[in-house]
């Protein structure tokens, strides 16, 4: 068996594809919409926006999240902003330019039609959010303010101080609560999806655990949406929330959904460095800081002087030196690798030597402390709270960390996975960012998928199927629930010597070392040996206290880590077979003389789509060839 | 440094809880408070004991999940800081601390330090929004908004819904939380059409939940990790009073379709 990877891209010129698709979609009559049930898992920007918008249309929606409230989803932590091709600054922006920047930023590994649609609907997102009361930053004249972000030479990023994700999520959350009040959406907080139910080849439901009582329940619907975010926590240390996990999409993968480009994982260049082995997560310092901060390390290897003792002539502003056109706003993958390189050379700063300076002294001198405080006050405070150092006086120390995953479940133009009726939105899918996501584009994609794509494509799907027809007693539902019960019993019965976190840390270290910013065949082969060993020990020696019939945070974690232990191997396998460098995927064997990513468009201009083949069997690699009719493939140049 | 922790342990909502003493000998000053508890929990698990349950997620002070009392203060001693962002350098060797869940009738304890704050969601559902469907609203720049209004709206919108205000209030009042949402939307032109209705409905829901009334102690403002100001409560009271005197529902005004 192999996947049908027809992306269902509409015919015609790029600019008209989405309009054509919308006209060709079948519609569900308004009075019939309430006969259809839709499950939406995850309530971040993509899931919250989708559940609210589908509820507004009149469908019956059940929404699920593992947190105590839908407002907690990790979209809330996004700091810097959201891109949109409004061209309010009159600086040469356009839909075409946002499209091109995104394709190029992704190193030509994303689908043209999807990205173009994303750029088109980006302008609607800003209108929608302003109408909801999102308090974006404004100029004195009352118009919306913009800032710049990496990988772009125009100012197209809209923001709400350093809390843009929070404000956009609260907009979606409020729209969702309005539908809950109206009775179109039923909300299940503190419920975690533990399996997907597929009946007659269609996604028809999920098994969830009530995280307070421990009770397992089956929910049935006519279609299922997964908007459950990325899998960056496979590295253990990442900027993701502690609860972010891969379980929903991994369960779907094992039920027949293709997993695309798992090795495309983004390492964000500006995070607060690791301070000790108790470290539980890493904190991002927004990329927007690079608008006014200059990144440097000492010119000399092993220079241990404090930053104020190092004169200007003995500093290396390496991004400005290497990429003069974009300078400190070079894209994330390039900036991260450059930081790794200078630290590998022994020029890193801080006690660990894994850090570089992000210095605001020049802009504070030029603009005054007040202006910097206005722009980044909350980020500076956060830095000081965590490190105990004042970034107005001494430069910040930063280092790259796992932040976002471009890979995810494969979806077609309708955002449908390889399982009919299973739609995947936001970071959980693979669709728009290719091999590297540009800053401020995750919020854009999450909201585009949730507000402006799924309401149309879901209607087209439902118009072609009859509502209802199965219930919770269907053998597939009974079997799925029983599998989850048995798995829970096994976890609780192992009673080994090591904690769940011990295994998660061990896995994270292997994936970070061998499949992080730099990857090579030898290291990847080593990781492919190590991960199954860790997994084997995990199933023999993990310890989960307590029972299944209560709130049990260790039980929640153990299931997630079990899935990370499988996903981690797929991630490494994907990195091993993609014998080229592109975007965030940097295979050390394939680089230009200047050390930049060297793509191989002859052999790897495709999306790798992995197909589950059964326990202990090698997954099958399927390929969706990428064709570029509107942009010319070239080596990315930010010099 | 070495700390002594007295932590509230309660197995479930229906069982009684009690304080249990723990010795934590290996605290590093760069750890966050939650990382310190992680270290303790890892040890408890290995000893075959039940780890301490506390809510947390982003650990960046923005999701609003975390929060408990440290020596009687929500989120602990550091002003403007959630407990996940509180670092151990603010404590000293030999300190003895008492950790308890946020206490309020409207926030029942679920387990140990973890509480049920779903009342906050129900209050938002009662009108904490602008009623605009997804669609094609006017261009975002067609309605200029004074920078000052947008900034003040943003100040109020920064609320993370953690519930510290309720925990600090002798009346267990949620007025700071509600008023932050009423200010966020009421300071923007988009929030005007529903301003009266919003104040009436959200405050009615507040009364249905088991929150107390505001008697201007100001404890809420003092402990808010996001520095939400008391002036929001004044604005809310103004909105409520005006709405209570002038609001007509749609049918009696004769404008309903």
B147 and B211 fall within a common domain = yes
Residue B55 shares a structural domain with residue B140: no
Which of B85, B111, B137 corresponds to the end of one domain?
A: B111
Asked if the Cβ–Cβ distance from B63 to A77 is below 8 Å, we say yes
CB atoms within 10 A of CB A632: 6
Are A283 and B60 inside 8 Å of each other by CB? yes
ipTM: 0.97
With beta carbons less than 8 A apart as the criterion, state whether A407 and A259 touch.
yes
Range of the domain at B176: 117-253
Determine contact: A1 vs chain B, CB below 8 A. Answer: no
End-to-end CA distance of chain A: 46
Please state at what angle helix A164-182 crosses helix B147-157, rounded to 10 degrees: 70
**Nearest-neighbour CA in chain A from B137: distance (Å):** 6
Which of B12, B32, B184 faces A133 most closely, judged by CB atoms? B184
Q: Tell me B27's DSSP state.
A: -
Distance (Å) of CA B161 to CA A512, B89, B180: 34, 26, 10
Confidence category of residue B256, pLDDT binned at 50, 70, 90: very low
Enumerate the residues of chain B whose CB falls inside 8 A of the CB of residue A170: 157
SS3 A212: coil
Quick one: pLDDT at residue A149?
A: 87
B118 vs A68: CB contact, 8 Å cut-off? yes
Q: Are A559 and A487 in contact (CB under 8 A)?
A: yes
A138 vs B contacts (CB less than 8 Å): 145-147, 150-151
**Rounded Cα gap, residues A16 and A130, in angstroms:** 27
Q: Is the pLDDT of residue B253 over 80?
A: no
Q: Is the pLDDT of residue B257 over 50?
A: no
* Residue A614 near chain B (CB below 8 Å): no
How many domains does chain B fold into? Answer: 2
Choosing from B111, B131, B146, the residue where a domain stops is B111
d(CA A107, CA A638): 12
Low-confidence spans in chain A with pLDDT less than 50: none
- B136 and B99 within one domain: no
Give me the mean pLDDT over the B5-14 stretch.
97
Tell me which of B58, B84, B111 is where a domain ends: B111
The closest of A278, A492, A417 to B88, measured between CA atoms, is A278
Query: Do both B25 and B53 map to the same domain?
Result: yes
Q: Do both B168 and B142 map to the same domain?
A: yes
Residue B177 shares a structural domain with residue B242: yes
Distance from CA of A122 to the nearest CA of B (A): 12
- Catalytic annotation, residues of A: 332
Do B100 and B188 lie in one domain? The reply is no
Contact A385 B78 (CB under 8 A): yes
Q: What is residue A151's predicted lDDT score, i.e. its pLDDT?
A: 86
| DSSP-assigned beta bridge partners for residue B70 | B73, B99
Report pLDDT digits (tens) over B176-195. Answer: 999 999 999 999 999 999 99
B88 and B13 within one domain: yes
Residues B106 and B210 both lie in one domain: no
Backbone angles phi, psi at A49, to 5 degrees: -65, -40
Please check whether residue A285 is in contact with residue A270, taking contact to mean a CB–CB distance below 8 angstroms.
yes
Map out the domains of chain A with their CATH numbers.
268-400 (3.90.700.10), 476-615 (1.20.58.100)
> What Å distances lie between residue A54 and A45, A185, B133, CA to CA?
14, 9, 10
What phi and psi, each to the nearest 5 degrees, are found at residue B223? -105, -5
Smallest CA–CA distance from B120 into chain A, residue: A69
Could you tell me the CATH number of the domain that includes residue B29? 3.10.20.30
Asked whether residue B36 falls in the same domain as residue B53, the answer is yes
Beta bridge partners of A529: none
d(CA A321, nearest CA chain B) in Å: 33
Residue-wise pLDDT tens digits, A277-287: 899 999 999 88
Contact A130 B140 (CB under 8 A): yes
| Element (DSSP H or E) covering residue A259 | strand A259-260
Residues 6+ apart with CB under 8 A from A498: A537, A541, A542, A543
How many residues comprise chain A?
639
DSSP state of A314: G
Task: Please tell me which residue, A161 or B64, carries the higher pLDDT value.
Answer: B64
Strand order in the sheet with B18-24: B18-24, B3-9, B96-100, B69-70, B73-74
Report H helices in A464-499.
Answer: 475-494
Q: Mutual orientation of helices A247-254 and A553-577 as an angle, nearest 10°?
A: 60
For residue B254, is pLDDT > 60?
A: no
> Residue B52 carries which DSSP code?
P
Same domain, B95 and B125: no
The C-alpha atoms of residue B141 and residue A141 are separated, in whole angstroms, by 11
Q: Are residues B88 and B144 in the same domain?
A: no
């Amino acid at each position: 068996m192999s996947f049908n990877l027809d992306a269902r891209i509409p015919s015609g010129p790029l600019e008209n594809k989405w309009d054509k698709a919308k006209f060709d979609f079948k519609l569900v009559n308004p009075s019939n919409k309430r006969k259809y049930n839709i499950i939406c898992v995850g309530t971040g920007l993509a899931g919250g926006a989708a559940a609210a918008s589908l509820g507004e249309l009149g469908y019956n929606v059940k929404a699920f999240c593992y947190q105590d409230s839908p407002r907690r989803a990790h979209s809330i932590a996004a700091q810097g902003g959201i891109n949109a091709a409004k061209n309010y600054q009159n600086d040469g922006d356009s839909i075409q330019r946002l499209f091109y920047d995104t394709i190029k930023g992704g190193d030509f590994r994303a689908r043209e039609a999807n990205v173009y649609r994303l750029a088109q609907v980006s302008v609607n997102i800003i209108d929608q959010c302003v109408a909801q009361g999102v308090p974006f930053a404004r100029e004195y004249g009352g118009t919306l303010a913009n800032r710049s972000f990496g990988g772009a030479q125009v100012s197209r990023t809209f923001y709400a101080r350093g809390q843009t994700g929070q404000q956009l999520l609260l907009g979606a959350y409020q729209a969702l609560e309005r539908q809950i009040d109206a009775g179109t959406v039923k909300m299940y907080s503190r419920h975690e999806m533990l399996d997907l139910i597929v009946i007659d080849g269609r996604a028809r439901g999920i098994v969830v655990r009530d995280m307070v009582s421990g009770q397992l329940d089956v929910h049935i619907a006519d279609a299922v949406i997964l908007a459950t975010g990325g899998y960056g926590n496979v590295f253990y240390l990442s900027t993701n929330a502690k609860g972010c996990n891969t379980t929903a999409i991994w369960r779907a993968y094992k039920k027949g959904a293709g997993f695309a480009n798992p090795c495309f994982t983004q390492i964000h260049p500006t995070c607060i460095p690791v301070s000790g082995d108790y470290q539980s997560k890493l904190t991002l310092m927004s990329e927007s800081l690079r608008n006014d901060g200059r990144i440097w390390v000492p010119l000399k290897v092993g220079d241990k002087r404090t930053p104020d003792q190092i004169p200007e002539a003995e500093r290396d502003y390496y991004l400005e030196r290497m990429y003069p056109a974009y300078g400190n706003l070079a894209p994330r993958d390039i900036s991260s690798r450059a930081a790794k390189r200078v630290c590998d050379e022994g020029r890193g700063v801080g006690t660990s030597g894994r850090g570089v300076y992000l210095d605001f002294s020049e802009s504070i001198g030029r603009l005054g402390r007040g202006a910097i405080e206005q722009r980044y006050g909350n980020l500076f405070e956060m830095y000081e709270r965590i490190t105990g150092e004042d970034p107005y006086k001494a430069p910040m120390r930063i280092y790259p960390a796992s932040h976002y995953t471009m890979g995810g479940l494969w979806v077609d133009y309708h955002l449908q996975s390889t399982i009919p009726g299973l739609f995947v939105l936001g970071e959980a899918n693979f669709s728009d960012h290719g091999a590297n996501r540009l800053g401020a584009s995750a919020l854009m994609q999450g909201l585009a998928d949730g507000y402006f794509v799924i309401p149309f494509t879901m209607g087209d799907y439902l118009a072609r199927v009859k509502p209802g027809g199965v219930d919770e007693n269907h053998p597939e539902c009974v079997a799925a629930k029983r599998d989850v019960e048995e798995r829970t019993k096994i976890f609780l019965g192992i009673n080994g010597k090591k904690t769940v976190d011990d295994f998660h840390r061990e896995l994270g270290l292997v994936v970070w070392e061998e499949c992080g910013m730099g990857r090579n065949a030898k290291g990847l082969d080593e990781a492919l040996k190590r991960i199954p060993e860790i997994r084997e020990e995990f199933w023999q020696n993990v310890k989960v206290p307590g029972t299944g019939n209560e709130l049990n945070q260790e039980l929640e974690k153990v299931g997630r880590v079990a899935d990370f232990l499988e996903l981690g191997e797929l991630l490494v396998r994907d990195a091993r077979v993609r014998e080229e460098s592109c975007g965030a995927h940097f295979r050390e064997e394939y680089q230009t003389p200047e050390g930049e990513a060297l793509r191989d468009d002859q052999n790897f201009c495709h999306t790798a789509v992995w197909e589950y083949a059964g326990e202990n069997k090698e997954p099958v690699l399927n390929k969706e060839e990428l064709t570029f009719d509107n942009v010319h493939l070239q080596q990315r140049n930010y010099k | 440094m070495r700390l002594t922790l007295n932590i509230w342990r309660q197995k479930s909502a229906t069982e009684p809880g009690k304080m249990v003493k723990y010795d934590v000998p290996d605290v590093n000053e760069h750890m966050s408070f939650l990382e310190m508890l992680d270290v303790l929990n890892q040890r408890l698990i290995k000893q075959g004991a039940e780890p301490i349950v506390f809510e947390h997620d982003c650990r960046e002070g923005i999701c609003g999940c975390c929060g408990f009392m440290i020596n009687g203060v929500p989120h602990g001693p550091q002003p403007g800081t959630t407990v996940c962002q509180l670092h151990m350098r603010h404590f000293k060797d030999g300190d003895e601390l008492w950790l308890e869940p946020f206490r309020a009738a409207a926030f029942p304890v679920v387990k140990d330090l973890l509480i049920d704050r779903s009342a906050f969601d129900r209050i938002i559902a009662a009108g904490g929004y602008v009623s605009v469907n997804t669609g094609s609203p006017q261009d975002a720049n067609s309605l200029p908004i004074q920078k000052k209004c947008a900034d003040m709206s943003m100040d109020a919108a920064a609320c993370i819904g953690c519930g510290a205000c309720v925990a600090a209030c002798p009346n267990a009042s949620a007025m700071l939380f509600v008023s932050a949402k009423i200010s966020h939307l009421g300071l923007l032109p988009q929030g005007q059409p529903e301003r009266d209705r919003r104040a009436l409905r959200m405050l009615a829901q507040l009364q249905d939940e088991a929150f107390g009334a505001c008697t201007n102690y100001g404890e809420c403002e003092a402990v808010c990790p996001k520095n939400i100001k008391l002036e929001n409560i004044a604005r809310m009271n103004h909105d409520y009073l005006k709405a209570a005197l002038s609001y007509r529902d749609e049918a009696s005004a004769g404008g309903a379709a």
